[in-house]
Amino acid sequence: MAEDGYKKRRRAFRLGHLAEFYAAAYLLFRGYRILQLRYRTKAGEIDIIARKGNLIAFVEVKARRTVEDALFSVGERNKARIRAASRIWLAKQKDFSELSWRYDILAVTPWRLPSHVPDAF
């Protein structure tokens, strides 16, 4: 039984990394510059930090069967951790006063282009 749980977690981990890579490629295609992938702090983690002009997008990537499942899978606790990590990242930026930022969700669903939801929370 423990082996099955390990295999499921490992598969989900790989699927998550693949979805993040796919999402980053999609954002590049849409004119964003990827500043960081999987930014981690003690406060939380941000999947992708992307920039377009003076706009910073903190992007949460979710791989789910439907876009709705992806959007509803980002809970309040997850949002708080992303916000906390983003404040740490922003504090380290020299051009902080010139930047605007938002929190996006990018849903990766099977056999479709990713769905980008800007300013999701």
Token readout for 6 is: 């390990």
pTM here is 0.90
Burial of 54 (0-12, 13-18, 19+ CB in 10 A): exposed
Band of pLDDT at residue 3, cut at 50, 70 and 90: low
Q: What are the pLDDT digits (tens) for 22-40?
A: 999 999 999 999 999 999 9
Task: Note the pLDDT tens digit of each residue in 39-57.
Answer: 999 999 999 999 999 999 9
DSSP H helical ranges for the chain: 2-29, 67-72, 76-91
Residue numbers of the domain that contains 66: 2-117
First to last CA, the chain: 38
Total domain count for the chain? Answer: 1
CATH number of the domain at 15, please: 3.40.1350.10
The position carrying tokens 């929370």 is: 121
* Averaged pLDDT, 82-111: 95
**Mean pLDDT in the chain?**
93
Q: How far is CA 60 from CA 5, 74, 95, in A?
A: 25, 8, 23
